Structure 1
Amino acid sequence: MSQQIPSPRGGASGGHRSGTDVRHDLWVPTLVRSLVALVFGAVTIFWQEPTQNAAPWALGLFLVGTGAAWLFLHFRMKAREDVDLGSLANIPQLAGILYILGGALMAIMAQQNWLFVLLAAMVLGLCGILELALGLRFRQSFPLGRDWTLSGLVTVGAGMGMMLVEALGAKAELGVVGGAAVIIGVTQFIAALSLRHDALAADRAGSPDNGQPKSVD
């Protein structure tokens, strides 16, 4: 059964900012996520001796910020009637909620290293799998599909890496997630700039697709 996925430019369907390129609504949440990731990555690089009590707060704030960016993206897409992700439409919202809840629990409860690592691995692994599923489904038919695929893989890898370096302490644990955050931050930053550039170019040139949806098997 085929599913209707919109072309990058919205049609005259009466949705949010009808007739504007959908990438106008994607680039700002993508930029927000990239900045959250880059700030966290920089903190893990320059923070030479993180304590076991402080590490859960740092990672928890990163997860909450990432979750907020996902919810921002979800509400931007939900406001457009020409964006339909079908049965996976709630994944951005679900990922956002899981990130925020996981980050809050981590900051409040995870003062023991094993619990800190367990919570982090669970949140990163589950959210990474959700993002990867979204990316693989729409990698050819939605502007953020390929970026979701890469970020999902990196996030799952970060969760697995946390388990592998548990015995090495907070610096190594934050370093694993921080390295993943740098990769995500850079790629999401490039994606945000590309989305904005392409949206403005489409506004100037007009869309040959005229907002008609593409059919994806």
Structure 2
Amino acid sequence: MPEQISAPHGGEARNRPAGADVRHDLWAPTLLRAVVALVFAAVTVFWQRPTLEGGRWVMAFFLVGTGVSAVFLQMRLNRREDVDLGASRSIPQSYGVLYVLGGALTAVVAGSDWLFVLCSAVILGLCGITELVLGMRFRHEFPLGRDWTLCGVVSVFAAMGMVLVEPLGTKAELGIAGGAAILIGVSQLIAALSLRHDARAADEAPRGPERTA
């Protein structure tokens, strides 16, 4: 992961106080997303005969939880004056809100199998494309750039997969979404642990030679 990102107000990272590394603000939202994805994946794996009603509530949990983690990330980014994402700064909040609204819509409106797939696939597809574009733009400049790219690709493929297996029923649809959730959950868990470790290492690293009179 990159050690530094753009700082609009200037200043070198080595002169920041302990705890100021941006990764301190990134690992918790990333961990929350990982937990949501892994819980959803576990349910889809062990639930052998899911009903449509139960399936839509489980999917709603996944979508809403993912959205909450994105909004949480946005809140952390908003308090960082040293993070410069330009016009893309508020994108996590945008697709986070879309995830939350999509999850609520899936739980309330998806009364038939094709509506369930339509709502889920549209939300996963739109949010996935948005996250993919964001990740591709900052894949070398921001600690979460590559993770955004991976999650975006997986979400888009999950959306297409759900549409393709729609004739097979709820079990197959949740199986596709659950498989994607496993990839997202594991990658985000590794990312969260790495961010936390790297942030602590940055705090303990020497901050450069002290000035002499």
User: TM-score of the superposition, structure 2-length normalised?
Assistant: 0.89
Pairwise CA distance, 1:6: 2.2
Asked whether the equivalents of residues 124 and 159 of structure 1 are also in contact (C-alpha less than 8 Å), the reply is yes
Count the aligned residue pairs.
Answer: 200
Residues in 1 aligned to 2:64 and 2:148: alpha-carbon distance in whole angstroms: 18
Q: What are the residue-to-residue correspondences of 1:84-123 with 2, within 5 Å?
A: 84-123=84-123
Residues in 2 aligned to 1:81 and 1:146: alpha-carbon distance in whole angstroms: 22
Residue 46 (structure 2) aligns with:
46
Instruction: Find out whether 1:128 has 2:99 as its counterpart.
Output: no
Asked whether the equivalents of residues 19 and 203 of structure 2 are also in contact (C-alpha less than 8 Å), the reply is no
User: Partner of 2:143: helix, strand, or coil?
Assistant: coil
Runs of 4+ in 1 over 3 A off after TM superposition: 10-13
Residue 211 (structure 2) aligns with:
none
Residue 141 (structure 2) aligns with:
141
Residue 188 (structure 2) aligns with:
188
Pairwise CA distance, 1:90: 1.4
Residue 177 (structure 1) aligns with:
177
Residue ranges of structure 2 left out of the alignment (5+ in a row): 209-213
Identity %: 63
User: Partner of 1:143: helix, strand, or coil?
Assistant: coil
Pairwise CA distance, 1:89: 1.1
Asked whether the equivalents of residues 27 and 195 of structure 1 are also in contact (C-alpha less than 8 Å), the reply is yes
Asked whether the equivalents of residues 37 and 66 of structure 1 are also in contact (C-alpha less than 8 Å), the reply is yes
Q: Residues 207, 122 of structure 1: CA spacing in aligned structure 2 closer, same or farther, 3 A cutoff?
A: farther
Q: Residues 84, 18 of structure 1: CA spacing in aligned structure 2 closer, same or farther, 3 A cutoff?
A: farther
User: Partner of 1:150: helix, strand, or coil?
Assistant: helix
Residues in 2 aligned to 1:88 and 1:37: alpha-carbon distance in whole angstroms: 25
Summarize deviations over 1:76-132 as a string: whole Å, max 9, x none. Answer: 011111112111111100111000000001001101111111111100000000100
Residue ranges of structure 1 left out of the alignment (5+ in a row): 209-217
Pairwise CA distance, 1:206: 3.9
Residues in 2 aligned to 1:24 and 1:115: alpha-carbon distance in whole angstroms: 40
Asked whether the equivalents of residues 131 and 148 of structure 1 are also in contact (C-alpha less than 8 Å), the reply is yes
Residue 21 (structure 1) aligns with:
21
Q: What are the residue-to-residue correspondences of 1:9-88 with 2, within 5 Å?
A: 20-88=20-88
User: TM-score of the superposition, structure 1-length normalised?
Assistant: 0.88
Q: Residues 75, 12 of structure 1: CA spacing in aligned structure 2 closer, same or farther, 3 A cutoff?
A: farther
Asked whether the equivalents of residues 18 and 203 of structure 2 are also in contact (C-alpha less than 8 Å), the reply is no
Q: Between Structure 1 and Structure 2, whose CA radius of gyration is higher? A: 2
Q: Residues 26, 207 of structure 1: CA spacing in aligned structure 2 closer, same or farther, 3 A cutoff?
A: farther
Q: Residues 164, 78 of structure 1: CA spacing in aligned structure 2 closer, same or farther, 3 A cutoff?
A: same
